[in-house]
Amino acid sequence: MSNDGFSVGGSFGGSFGGGPAQGAGQPAAPAAPPAPTGPSGLVGDLARPAPAGGAAAGDVIIDVTTQTFMSDVIEASRERTVLVDFWAPWCGPCKQLTPILEKAVESARGAVVLAKMNIDENPEVASQLGIQSIPAVIAFKNGQPLDGFMGVQPESQIKSFIERVAGPVGPSEAEQVLTEADAAHEAGDLARAAELYAGVLSMEPENAKAFGGLAQCMVATGDVARAKEVVEAAPESIANDPAMAAAKAAIELAEQAGSLGDLAELEARIEADPDDHQARFDLAVALGSGPDKEKAVDHLIEIVRRDRAWNEDGARLQLLQFFEAWGPKDPSTGYGRRRLSSVLFR
């Protein structure tokens, strides 16, 4: 992850310890917001305590100055790895990196400390390290700079960087619970899955996968109104996440299906006229929000086979909406993609 040519140097003697440790350990981020409550009827009631092995933001994210650098970084790094984030208020990329970096550090559950240094107010350390571009993050271990990176990086790469300089972190408790929730959802244990998704939200109130999963559970039980409330309660910051898009697509499908009326009538229309594409399309939409997903795929594929241009390629576009709502892991999605490929590229 280190940038090519990234290097640090300089001396770490008494020049960084010349004064009393003022301002050491000040939290750099507010406490996490409370878990959402209300719309699901589960999120608040089933709230779980924070993971026992975790660490509060104030414990792992601090502000550091030239005066406190020796104690808060050099000496502290002999106990656990310290990441120093060199930033400035005027730096746009720094503002982009900060929330990603802080989230990754908090997820590391105490494996590392993040020490944030404003280089406008404290230029000496950055100068001695030869830092010429920010944001720059340097990991210190055993009193020495170990590795670093410059510029904005995605959370996945920052997590990999942390594991490289501090050792394996493993999945957080929230990630473990989310995996269990997904398994329960796939197995059809919707009550258990909803309970677990709610538990994840009590630990991570902006977890898009948990919000999306909880909404999908509501859709699967036929409670579309509550599913919409869950989606509407999600923070704006995750509104465009794929998990939220899938939940919204599932809600839209369920609403469409609910307005289609008697399925037997649609089936009778298709039997009387196999080219009644509207009846076949409506039947597919109705089936796509229930247990007969592969039958829904078959009907849409039949429309594509008979008249690809019908309703401005509407059958194929409906299949794509199915895939988004069902998710890539659903066997019906794989089945539908294979069937669509076979008819499009025959």
**Catalytic amino acids?**
91, 94
Nearest-angstrom CA–CA distance, 143 and 235: 40
Residue 58, H or E segment: helix 57-60
Give the β-pairing of 112-118 and 81-87: parallel
Q: How far is CA 110 from the centre of its chain?
A: 21
What is the chain's length?
346
**Alpha-carbon distances, residue 108 vs 56, 162, 290, 325 (angstroms):** 11, 8, 40, 32
Give the β-pairing of 61-63 and 81-87: unpaired
CB 180 within 8 A of CB 196: yes
Closest among 229, 248, 252, 226 to 239, alpha carbons compared: 248
CB 206 within 8 A of CB 34: no
Give the β-pairing of 144-150 and 136-141: antiparallel
Q: How far apart are the first and last CA of the chain?
A: 44
Closest among 139, 72, 68 to 108, alpha carbons compared: 139
